[in-house]
């Protein structure tokens, strides 16, 4: 996918175009829902090998062990070092081949056979004899997936999906029977049942392929000594200071001219004291990547940018969603009556959040799932009707007579809590706050408040991950509201085996409608669009779903492109 139009020094992306005045500058803005530009060099220029790409993060990763990746900075850096059988494309529904050059699936969707590339080698590392990385084989895939089962995690995406996975996790079997090595470069996965998310799960960071030698050599320290097959390998890690990644000279990918990738000599990632330091360093040319939200970009970045000097990628589809969830397992009017829950939502004046969140533009969510935003702008308007809310409360005045206090839990005092309290006060409902900064989500399963605040970022970009929060068979730490609806469960289960995108969309819309009718949640917000700003001498940055990829990045300028010691 290539840009519909490219203007140097302006914003670039794929999709529709319109004119947006900002800070006195007329911009041609091209936006996508998590699509990104393929930064195309002009015809008279060719990629240049070498150079060091520098950028800063507010926090460096805590771990780069694939089974421990939790935070965005962990996943962003790990994606430069590791690869899985497959990876995400520019669209969340696009899967691209990586270590697997091809795959086939039986008609019943329960058996998948993957064929590995013959030219993939692990990065050179002291864990190997003579420090030279060896060829990747099918047994490495079996080992890497088995390692996930050997450690209990909060939400193992493969649990219950691969035959024998759960037995191996419990220690009742010495191998996962649903993974069969058919040869050095060929293996089969047998699933318990067809699952439309299986390929996407294999594209997540948890399913990166790694060598057993590295685990034996480094032990628990492997989390700071990653070894993968990606375009860059770890050369230096100074905690709370910097990470230096250098070119993997044996990387398998090549460009259209059959030249080896990556072009860059190295990537230096420094930890900054705060965002102001990152922004200042970017303006001084000390780092080459600035990631900001929509409002900061328009109000702070554009006014100081010089024409022709910067380019921008936009990811308009964030993953996170925030909502208030009712505890449906309590015996109260809020758990028993959908009208009472709906009244709370109708009274919630979300528009006031726009004034209380100065660092971002506030867009009221119309759906639970961010990636299912409706195309019609009118459909994005969240219902606010305090008069109807009052009428609904009056219908249940007798039941509510002893429940004029709504107990609500949160991990921090967010602006949305104050807005909800002020919105409900005219209806005679008092909010009783319980702030738990430590082990918050664990506490929700023990101390059941009437209402709980949830901030959710899935590790898998598929709508089913959001709906599993309301699946009656999900464990208590996932289905925090204890919501149960048999029809909802059946539709969600159908979506897990349905492969047709249009039909899946229909099923997701049905799930959204059930949630609207039952009102187990009051939606607060979705993630803002993300803007990645780079100097115009940087070419080739791509966004594979939400993380920048530097495999084909090259730097046009000559000076200052050496590793700093």
CATH assignment at residue 396: 3.10.105.10
User: Residue 35 has which token pair?
Assistant: 């699509």
The predicted structure's pLDDT at residue 34: 40
Q: Do 409 and 474 belong together in one domain? A: yes
Q: Do 390 and 300 belong together in one domain? A: no
Q: Do 9 and 115 belong together in one domain? A: no
What angle in degrees, to the nearest 10, is found between the helix axes of 338-347 and 386-395? 150
SS3 504: helix
SS3 380: helix
The alpha-helical segments, DSSP class H, found in 371-500 are 386-395, 397-400, 415-424, 440-446, 463-467, 486-497
* Domain assignment present for 238: no
The predicted structure's pLDDT at residue 438: 83
Taking alpha carbons only, the member of 31, 538, 458, 565 closest to residue 290 is 538
Sign of the torsion angle spanned by Cα atoms 72, 76, 77, 82: positive
502 contacts: CB under 8 Å, gap ≥ 6: none
d(CA 120, CA 98): 10
Q: Do 105 and 199 belong together in one domain? A: yes
Q: Do 308 and 325 belong together in one domain? A: no
* Domain assignment present for 190: yes
Burial pattern 38-66, b for ≥16 Cβ within 10 A else e, equals: bbeeeeeeebbeebbbbbbbeebbebbbb
Please answer whether residues 552 and 262 qualify as being in contact, where contact means their C-beta atoms are separated by less than 8 angstroms: yes
* Domain assignment present for 149: yes
Q: Do 137 and 204 belong together in one domain? A: yes
Q: Do 426 and 487 belong together in one domain? A: yes
Please answer whether residues 484 and 329 qualify as being in contact, where contact means their C-beta atoms are separated by less than 8 angstroms: no
Burial pattern 378-409, b for ≥16 Cβ within 10 A else e, equals: eeeebebebeebeebbeebeeebeeeeebbbb
Domain boundary among 199, 229, 259: 229
SS3 314: strand
DSSP label at residue 441: H
Q: Do 363 and 509 belong together in one domain? A: yes
Half-sphere exposure of 144 (CA within 13 A, CB side): 25
Beta strands 451-456 and 405-410: pairing type?
Answer: parallel
Beta strands 52-57 and 266-271: pairing type?
Answer: parallel
Q: How many structural domains compose the chain? A: 3
Q: Do 419 and 510 belong together in one domain? A: yes
Q: Do 503 and 377 belong together in one domain? A: yes
- pLDDT tens-digit profile, the chain (565 residues): 332 222 223 333 322 222 223 332 233 333 333 434 334 444 446 899 999 999 999 989 989 999 988 788 899 999 999 999 999 998 878 999 999 999 999 999 999 999 999 999 999 999 999 999 999 999 999 999 999 986 555 457 888 899 999 999 889 999 999 999 999 999 999 999 999 999 999 999 999 999 999 999 999 999 999 999 999 999 999 999 999 999 999 999 999 999 999 999 999 999 999 999 999 999 999 999 999 988 899 999 999 988 788 999 998 767 889 999 999 999 999 999 999 999 999 999 998 998 888 777 888 888 999 888 665 444 445 589 999 999 999 999 888 888 889 999 999 899 999 999 999 999 999 999 999 888 898 899 899 999 999 999 887 889 999 999 999 999 898 899 999 999 999 999 999 999 899 999 999 999 999 999 999 999 999 888 889 999 999 999 999 878 899 999 999 975 445 565 5
Please answer whether residues 209 and 99 qualify as being in contact, where contact means their C-beta atoms are separated by less than 8 angstroms: yes
| N- to C-terminal Cα separation, the chain | 39
d(CA 211, CA 128): 9
Domain boundary among 171, 196, 229: 229
Q: Do 70 and 166 belong together in one domain? A: no
* Domain assignment present for 548: yes
User: Residue 504 has which token pair?
Assistant: 């899946």
Annotate 85-97 with DSSP letters as a single string.
Answer: SEEE-SSTT-EEE
Taking alpha carbons only, the member of 269, 259, 228, 264 closest to residue 246 is 264
d(CA 422, CA 252): 59
Q: Do 447 and 557 belong together in one domain? A: no
DSSP label at residue 370: G
DSSP H or E stretch at residue 102: strand 100-105
Domain boundary among 229, 264, 296: 229
* Domain assignment present for 237: no
The predicted structure's pLDDT at residue 317: 66
Furthest C-alpha separation in the chain: 79
Taking alpha carbons only, the member of 457, 458, 463, 460 closest to residue 201 is 460
CATH at 311: 3.40.190.10
d(CA 280, CA 140): 44
* Domain assignment present for 249: yes
CATH at 106: 3.90.76.10
* Domain assignment present for 156: yes
Which residue segment(s) compose the domain that 99 sits in?
93-229
Q: What are phi and psi of 522, to 5 degrees?
A: -115, 115
DSSP H or E stretch at residue 295: helix 294-296
* Domain assignment present for 239: no
Q: What are phi and psi of 446, to 5 degrees?
A: -95, -55
Q: What are phi and psi of 390, to 5 degrees?
A: -65, -40
User: Residue 331 has which token pair?
Assistant: 């015996």
């Amino acid at each position: 996918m290539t840009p519909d139009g490219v203007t140097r020094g302006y914003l670039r992306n794929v999709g529709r175009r319109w004119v947006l005045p900002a800070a006195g500058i007329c911009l041609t803005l091209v936006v996508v829902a998590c699509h990104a530009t393929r930064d195309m060099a002009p015809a008279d220029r060719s990629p240049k090998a070498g150079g060091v790409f520098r950028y800063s993060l507010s926090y460096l990763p805590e771990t780069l062990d694939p089974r421990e990746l939790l935070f965005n900075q962990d996943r962003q850096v790990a994606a430069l070092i590791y690869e899985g059988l497959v990876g995400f494309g520019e669209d969340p529904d696009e899967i691209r081949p990586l270590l697997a050059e091809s795959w086939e699936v039986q008609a019943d969707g329960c058996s998948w056979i993957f064929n590995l590339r013959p030219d993939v080698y692990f990065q050179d590392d002291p864990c190997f004899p003579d420090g030279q990385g060896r060829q990747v084989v099918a047994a490495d895939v079996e080992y890497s997936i088995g390692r996930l089962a050997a450690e209990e995690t909060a939400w193992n995406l493969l649990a219950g999906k691969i035959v024998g996975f759960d037995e191996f996790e419990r220690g009742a079997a010495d191998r996962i029977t649903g993974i069969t090595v058919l040869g050095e470069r060929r293996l089969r996965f047998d699933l318990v049942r067809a699952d439309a998310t299986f390929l996407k799960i294999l594209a997540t960071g948890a399913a990166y392929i790694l060598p057993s030698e590295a685990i034996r050599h480094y032990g628990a320290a492997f989390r700071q000594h990653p070894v993968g097959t990606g375009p860059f390998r770890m050369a230096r890690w100074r905690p709370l200071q910097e990470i230096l990644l250098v070119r993997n000279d044996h990387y398998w990918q090549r460009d259209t001219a059959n030249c080896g990738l990556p072009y860059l000599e190295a990537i230096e990632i420094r930890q900054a004291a705060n965002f102001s330091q990152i922004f200042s360093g970017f303006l001084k040319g000390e780092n080459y990547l600035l990631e900001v939200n929509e409002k900061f970009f328009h109000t702070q970045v554009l006014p100081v940018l010089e024409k022709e000097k910067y380019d921008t990628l936009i990811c308009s589809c964030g993953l996170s969603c925030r909502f208030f969830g009712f505890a449906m397992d309590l015996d109260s009017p809020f758990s028993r009556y959908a009208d009472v829950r709906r009244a709370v939502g109708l009274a919630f004046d979300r528009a006031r959040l726009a004034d209380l969140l100065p660092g971002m533009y506030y867009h009221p969510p119309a759906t639970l799932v961010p990636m299912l935003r409706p195309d019609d702008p009118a459909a994005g308007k969240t219902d606010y009707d305090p008069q109807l809310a009052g009428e609904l409360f009056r219908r249940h005045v007798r039941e509510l007579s002893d429940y004029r206090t709504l107990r609500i839990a949160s991990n921090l005092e967010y602006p949305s809590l104050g807005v909800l309290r002020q919105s409900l006060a005219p209806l005679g409902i008092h909010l009783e706050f319980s702030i738990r900064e430590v082990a918050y989500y664990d506490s929700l399963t023990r101390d059941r408040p009437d209402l709980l605040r949830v901030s959710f970022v899935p590790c898998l970009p598929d709508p089913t991950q959001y709906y599993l929060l309301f699946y009656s068979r999900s464990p208590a730490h996932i289905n925090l509201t204890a919501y149960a609806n048999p029809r909802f469960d059946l539709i969600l289960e159908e979506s897990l085996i349905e492969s047709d995108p249009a039909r899946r969309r229909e099923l997701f819309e049905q799930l959204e409608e059930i949630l609207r009718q039952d009102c187990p949640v009051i939606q607060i917000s979705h993630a803002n669009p993300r803007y990645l700003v780079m100097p115009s001498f940087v070419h080739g940055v791509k966004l594979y779903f939400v993380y920048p990829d530097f495999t084909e990045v090259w730097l046009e300028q000559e000076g200052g492109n050496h590793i700093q010691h």
